[in-house]
Amino acid sequence: MMNRIKLVFSPAFILLMAGAFITYWFRVYFTSENLPAVDLPSHFVFARQLRDHLLEGRIVFYDHTTFTGVPVFRFYSFLPALCTVLLSYPLELFASDPIVLSTHLILVLGMAIMPFTLYFAVWPLVAEISNGFDKQRLNQITVACLASAFAFWFINHDKQWHGIGAAAPMNIGLFAQVFGWHLFLVYLGYLARLRANASSRNFLGLGISYALLPISHTLTFVFVSFIGGLAFLFFGKNRRQIFVAHIMGFGLAGFWFWPTLSLLGTFTTYDVIRPEGDFLEILFRYPWNGLGRSIKSCSHFWF
Same domain, yes or no, for 227 and 286? no
CA distance 243 to 220: 19
Examine the fold and report which residue of 69, 86, 110 is the final residue of a domain before the chain moves on.
Answer: 110
Same domain, yes or no, for 226 and 245? yes
Angle of the 79-91 helix axis to the 175-196 helix axis, nearest 10? 110
Of the candidates 141, 225, 229, 140, the residue with the CA atom closest to the CA atom of residue 180: 225
- pLDDT greater than 90 at residue 276: no
- What is the pLDDT at residue 160? 46
- pLDDT greater than 80 at residue 127: no
Confidence of residue 10 (pLDDT cuts 50, 70, 90): confident
Same domain, yes or no, for 218 and 236? yes
Domains identified in the chain, total number: 3
Confidence of residue 73 (pLDDT cuts 50, 70, 90): low
- pLDDT greater than 80 at residue 303: no
Instruction: Assess if residue 292 is contained within a domain.
Output: yes
- pLDDT greater than 70 at residue 79: yes
Instruction: Assess if residue 258 is contained within a domain.
Output: yes
Provide, for the chain, the percentages of residues in helix, strand and coil under a 3-state DSSP scheme, each rounded to the nearest 5. Answer: 70, 0, 30
- pLDDT greater than 50 at residue 38: yes
- What is the pLDDT at residue 101? 94
Same domain, yes or no, for 208 and 244? yes
Q: Which structural domain range is residue 71 located in?
A: 31-110
Same domain, yes or no, for 182 and 262? yes
Of the candidates 218, 227, 205, the residue with the CA atom closest to the CA atom of residue 176: 218
CA distance 143 to 119: 7
Position with higher pLDDT, 187 vs 163: 187
Same domain, yes or no, for 186 and 243? yes
- What is the pLDDT at residue 203? 93
Instruction: Assess if residue 7 is contained within a domain.
Output: no
pTM score: 0.76
Same domain, yes or no, for 215 and 250? yes
- pLDDT greater than 50 at residue 302: no
